[in-house]
Amino acid sequence: MSEQAESVIYRACNLCEAICGLEIVVKENQVLSIKGDKNDPFSKGHICPKATSLQDIQEDPNRLKFPHKKVGGKWVKIGWDEAFDMATDKLWGIQKKYGTQAVGVYLGNPNVHNYGAVTHGPQFLRLLKTRNRFSATSVDQLPHQFISNVMYGHQFLIPIPDIDHTNHMIIMGANPAVSNGSIMTVPNVKARLKAISNRGGKIIVIDPRHTETAKIAQEHHFIKPGRDVAFLLAFLNHLFAENLVNTAHLTGKLDGFDKIHDLIKDFSHNRVEELTGISLGVIHKMAEEFAAEEKAVFYGRMGVSTNPYGACCQWLIQLINIATGNLDKVGGTMIPLPAVDLVGMGLIGRGGYNRWQSRVSQKPEVCGEFGSSLMAEEIMTGGEGQIKAMVLSAGNPVLSTPNGTQLSRAFEKLDFMLAIDFYINESTRYADLILPPTAPLEHDHYDVSFLALAVSNITRFNDRAIQADDGTLDDWQISHELMTRYLKKMKSPKLPKKRTPERLIAVALANGPYGKRRGAREALTLNKLKENPHGLYLGDLQPLLMRRLKTKNGKINCAPDLLVGDLERVKTDIFDRNQKDTLLLIGRRDIRTNNSWSHNARRLVKGKNRCTLLINPQDAVRHGLSSGDMTGIKSRVGSLAIQIEETEDMMPGVVSIPHGWGHDREGVMLDIAREHGGVSVNDLTDEAQTDQLIGTAAVNGVEVELFSLS
């Protein structure tokens, strides 16, 4: 038999939001190389170190390919029929015995990076009819979705920075040089940021750490974690006080904007420097420069979102862009027009607030789910509606949500856990049954979510690179079979048709803004995308927000009642209260890390220890420590031991531990990750510390103490 020739597959890396184009060389169903696709119109050959780890995931001996159930504490491989019967029998039986709310669901970040999970996963979960839904959203981007819902009428009308055309960018609580953009799909972001400077523009970073992004900015200002809201109030107030407000093209399209100055002007400005660490003079200068620029954008992300006032912060950022005429404007922020239009076609719900409440704490539902910080109490507190079973889909909440130690104890108490995952990790080790989907390179893909958050309108269909082993199943096939069997349990006369994700995308493209059913001159079809494997550039972002608004009166709601009311909490908790002089903990991310999967790829964890406690030398001296020493660190909920790393990059009084580590635990079957175990920052973060308005976890600004291990 003749030797197979090499083949080249062009597709995107779907490990993070940048979705960089790849050129993958394959021979005899094995990956030979992965490099950047120079002909990709979006990424133009750029990739980060994570892209090559797709080969590591593909070849990982720890990756499960077939169902496994736990028998006597040991994992046993079983067939798909037995597995599907077990899954549906257990979930059905628990709901029949205890009620529909007895099953909880947690969705991890990888779900949105896999279009089969996006197209078919929700169909099965809807059948469960449970309101106990949790996801990585509430430790990430929930404030963005909530603010877009209350201001613009839809949770996915999220304004995106026009990074390629702006001349002035303020970046707050974000490190796009490492995250590759977030709620801003932007490959090769370093080059795009440097281009701002090269065209005479300016980048300002506001962050408790002198980050990788700060190192290429013109200015960096330290800010105390969790106090971003005080900075933003002072910034916005100065625009009003100095008559620097110019809503330009938005004038007449704003509802409630005239109330804003009166709402914020009485906050105690003499305390802003004390609260934030940034002088009023510096804040005023930033506001004046921002207002003077013709094209400017204010962008805030994780550090701004995952603190006790994340929703309020994201609201104020929107108001700053509105007040300076930079919303829905070239060089400011704009709404993408993706080929698969989630908003325009009604493929995703508008979102909502407080349509139901959590059982134990009576916390509000936000955009269809509860904050993940509530998971443990809903499992551990007895009574009607107690969660008795969990469905974990591509999630590792023990490492990614607050007080992971408590959540571990909660998972131990479940009657049943079903995990849809191909790893036995820190969370899925508690499962009774694991249904593993195929690996990323083994199925085709379309970036449903991230093309709707991109800094340019592009589209790309990804063919599979590797033929999966016989008998393995994609995510959508697993969800379809679970749904089919659950409907049979319900004695439904109608069973779902087996439509592939590819077929659903073809229909969505045809009905989308560039499709034949919208009268496009050169209609975009799935076949056309397949004929252009590098992807297609559909144009720069354009001002579209006012045409796409979903508010009832057709105007931007600038003063939502919920946010206006939340200002009183800000005043009481921050401005009227004496602040403790304690050490504050923040997270961080490494360019080689996306989630805990990354730590089982040798090429991504090799080299120096990255799971260290970054600390300013002043704080190290005060505690009698120096680089390389081990120290204890504790919070209200837990303690751990970690190696310190002194650096002037940290603001005095602030320390940092990266997220996603803590693999050296009993039952974890990730060989390489266990060798580089590290510690989990979420054994210190506090489930009681949340944004009380919407339930986002406040994982930044956690009060901690250092203690001696001797």
pLDDT tens string 20-59: 999 999 999 999 999 999 999 999 999 998 899 999 999 9
38 and 187 inside one domain:
no
pLDDT in tens, 493-514: 888 888 999 999 999 999 999 9
Run of H or E including 456: strand 456-459
200 and 300 inside one domain:
yes
pLDDT in tens, 639-675: 999 999 999 999 999 999 999 999 999 999 999 999 9
40 and 167 inside one domain:
no
Contact 205, 42 (CB under 8 A): no
Contact 47, 19 (CB under 8 A): no
pLDDT value for 518: 62
Examine the pLDDT at 180 and tell me if it is beyond 60: yes
pLDDT in tens, 251-291: 999 999 999 999 999 988 889 999 999 999 999 999 999 99
Range of the domain at 175: 162-329+555-569
Total domain count for the chain? 3
pLDDT in tens, 142-163: 999 999 999 999 999 999 999 9
* DSSP codes joined into one string, 470-490: TT-B-HHHHHHHHHHHHHHHT
CA dist 103 and 87 (Å) reads 12
In the chain, the percentage of residues whose pLDDT exceeds 90 is: 90
* CATH value at residue 299: 3.40.228.10
CA distances from 37 to 51, 177, 180 (A): 11, 20, 17
Contact 130, 257 (CB under 8 A): no
pLDDT in tens, 435-448: 999 999 999 999 99
586 and 559 inside one domain:
no
pLDDT value for 415: 98
Instruction: Say how many CA atoms lie within 13 Å of 124 toward its Cβ.
Output: 30
* CATH value at residue 696: 2.40.40.20
pLDDT value for 347: 87
- Mean pLDDT value of segment 228-256: 97
User: Which residues, at least 6 apart from 327, have a Cβ–Cβ distance to it below 8 Å?
Assistant: 159, 250, 318, 321, 333, 545, 556
Contact 485, 84 (CB under 8 A): yes
pLDDT in tens, 512-550: 999 987 665 679 999 999 999 999 999 999 999 999 999
In a domain, residue 492? The reply is: no
562 and 610 inside one domain:
no
Q: What is the dihedral of CA 328, 451, 213, 220, to 10 degrees?
A: 20
CA dist 630 and 674 (Å) reads 19
559 and 586 inside one domain:
no
Examine the pLDDT at 596 and tell me if it is beyond 80: no
691 and 560 inside one domain:
no
Residue 493: CB atoms within 10 Å: 6
pLDDT value for 305: 97
pLDDT in tens, 98-115: 999 999 999 999 899 999
How high does pLDDT run on average in the chain?
95
pLDDT value for 590: 87
In a domain, residue 677? The reply is: yes
254 and 166 inside one domain:
yes
CA dist 660 and 598 (Å) reads 9
174 and 252 inside one domain:
yes
Q: Answer with the one of 543, 569, 595 that is the final residue of a domain.
A: 569
Q: Answer with the one of 534, 569, 604 that is the final residue of a domain.
A: 569
In a domain, residue 36? The reply is: yes
- Mean pLDDT value of segment 361-382: 98
CA distances from 69 to 66, 74, 75, 106, 428 (A): 10, 8, 6, 19, 11
In a domain, residue 79? The reply is: no
Contact 259, 633 (CB under 8 A): no
pLDDT value for 521: 63
564 and 663 inside one domain:
no
In a domain, residue 399? The reply is: no
196 and 170 inside one domain:
yes
pLDDT value for 519: 60
Considering only residues 596 and 457, tell me which one the structure prediction assigns the higher pLDDT: 457
pLDDT value for 1: 43
Out of 108-117, 177-186, 547-556, the most confident range is: 547-556
pTM above 0.85, yes or no: yes
In a domain, residue 244? The reply is: yes
In a domain, residue 301? The reply is: yes
Tokens of 399: 């490492």
In a domain, residue 11? The reply is: yes
pLDDT value for 580: 82
* DSSP codes joined into one string, 87-116: HHHHHHHHHHHH-GGGEEEEE-GGGGG-HH
243 and 311 inside one domain:
yes
